[in-house]
Structure 1
Amino acid sequence: MNNQELLYHYFSNSLTPEQESVFKKLLETDAEFKAEFEFEKGLQKAIKSHETDRLKAMLNEVETKINKRHNTVFNYRNLAIAASIAILFGWFGYNTFFSTNYSSLYEDNFTEYPNTVYTITRSDDANSIEREAFVAYETKNYQTAIEKFEALSADETKDYLNFYKAQAYLGMDNIQEAKGLFQQVVAKNESFVAEATWYLALIAIKEKDKSLAVSYLEHLMANYSYNKDKAQALLKELN
């Protein structure tokens, strides 16, 4: 699959998990592809903001004329309008204009949560498992981080470990493991409950579960201050 096809599937919200992995890698390693993506993303937003109503009106006009074709000749002008709309839909896809682009919403709002619980300094010679875990986490060596967090999981006084282990799983695109751990953080009222709720909302968006995402975002706004403005903006996008 070439880059144009990847962009098409991204903006039509139809990437497979395998294609999504390739897409993310290209964004990180291919400057030309990233520039093209940013251009198309800006173009998509501009069209969605300024053209949706006009396109809907055009579609309604064509539909009305088609429905009345037994009384009205369907002329070349009508055909040209329909063809123009079809060309636009062929590139951006119907969902780009009239439905939520869940992949885009997830990517635009996801950021890895920073290490705020364990300070690592160059002069720190302590060779503890927790230090090794957070060094691995900060250097994006997520598999090692998970293994180290697992080794520490028996320490119930450090209830932030599940949250950071979930973050590491997100870094590896293992959504299901991350989701289970975030749910555990919320259920047990562990540290980072508000933050875990935010990430559960993002996971629901990634999985295209609109009702669940809305539920998490509304709960976040009603009970916590963390990312309240972002949650409100996301709710507007989803509704």
Structure 2
Amino acid sequence: MSNETLIEKYFSKSLSPNETLEFDKLYESDSDFKKDVDFLKTVKLVSEKEDDLQFKSQLKSYEDDYSEHDKKTTHKWLKPLIAAAGLILIMLSLNFFMNSKLDEDQLFSSYFEPSKNVTSPIIRSTDNETTVNNAFIAYSEADYKPAIVLFQKAYQDSKNSELLFYEANSLLAIEDYENAITKFEEHLKYSDILTNRSHWYLALAYIKTKQIEKAKQELKSLLNSDETFKKPEANSLLEKL
């Protein structure tokens, strides 16, 4: 049996007892055979975590190619396999590195918490049943869906742009990222005491939706502003991006 077939059967775990003895003997006595096997073991260790079927298919395709073509050169089948396997190993390693480098969900979870109410003191009294007050009561209790409706109505009535900021925070808290982005962008068209803070939350929303370059721009806008809110966190987050 050819060395190449022994190797293929070894990786497909289909060696017979006699073939296993032959394989072990070659592995101990033939340094080239051992080097080829060890290299493919490394490749398979990486590739099976990503696409084991693809690796086995690659082995089978090269074995078939070997069977149909010139068999005079001992490593005619193995050399192109090693070249291709090396490329697979590099690509998988790079893919693993890139994927492990940035975890958008983890970054968002680490940095996001809804903004505190710094606009309107809550008055819990039947004498103050205003839409704004009720909106902030719902917001303070993390009852975000009713808060969104109330903030919308309060903004329509008062045109107080700060309410857009809290509505957007509520949308972000319930994972409605696209609408949160739209609302933060709308708030940034105004100039109030919370405007620059929208850069921070918009950056987080962009991270969550994998729009990293836009997130970087928002963080830079915050850092370049006079706003002190979340500046250390913005520096830290920008470095991670």
Under TM normalisation by the shorter chain, which class is it?
A: 0.5 to 0.7
Flag the 1:80–1:125 CA change in 2: closer, same or farther, 3 A.
farther
Q: 1:132-174: per-residue Cα shift (whole Å, max 9, x none)?
A: 1111111222221122112211344633111111111112221
Give the Å deviation of 1:200: 0.9
1:233 aligns with 2:233: no
Q: What amino acid does structure 2 have at the position aligned with 1:214?
A: K
Q: Give the distance between the partners of 1:102 and 1:84, measured in 2 at CA.
A: 27
Q: Extract unaligned runs of 5+ from structure 2.
A: 1-31, 52-92
Q: Is the 8 A contact 2:203 2:219 kept in 1?
A: yes
Partner of 1:212, secondary structure, is helix
Higher relative contact order (CA 8 A, sep 6+): 1
Q: Extract unaligned runs of 5+ from structure 1.
A: 1-71
1:78 aligns with 2:39: yes
Q: Give the distance between the partners of 2:106 and 2:94, measured in 1 at CA.
A: 15
Percent pairwise identity:
25
Partner of 2:193, secondary structure, is coil
Q: Is the 8 A contact 2:123 2:133 kept in 1?
A: no
Q: Give the distance between the partners of 1:85 and 1:124, measured in 2 at CA.
A: 65
Quote the RMSD (CA, aligned, Å). 2.7
What residue number does 1:97 align with? 97
Q: Give the distance between the partners of 2:127 and 2:50, measured in 1 at CA.
A: 59
Q: Give the distance between the partners of 2:112 and 2:217, measured in 1 at CA.
A: 18
Partner of 1:162, secondary structure, is helix
Q: Give the distance between the partners of 1:118 and 1:180, measured in 2 at CA.
A: 23
Q: Where does structure 1 differ by over 4 angstroms across 4 or more consecutive aligned residues?
A: 87-90, 93-96, 121-125
Partner of 1:154, secondary structure, is helix
2:214 to 191, 212, 216: 212
Q: Give the distance between the partners of 1:114 and 1:101, measured in 2 at CA.
A: 26
Q: What amino acid does structure 1 have at the position aligned with 2:42?
A: I
Q: When the two structures are superposed, what TM-score results if normalisation uses the length of structure 2?
A: 0.60
Give the Å deviation of 1:190: 3.0
Give the Å deviation of 1:231: 1.3
What residue number does 2:189 align with? 187
Q: Give the distance between the partners of 2:43 and 2:215, measured in 1 at CA.
A: 35
Give the Å deviation of 1:202: 0.8
1:130 to 132, 138, 142: 132
Partner of 2:198, secondary structure, is helix
Instruction: State the aligned residue count.
Output: 166
Give the Å deviation of 1:228: 1.4
Greater Cα radius of gyration, structure 1 or 2? 2
Give the Å deviation of 1:182: 0.8
What residue number does 2:164 align with? 162
Give the Å deviation of 1:84: 3.0
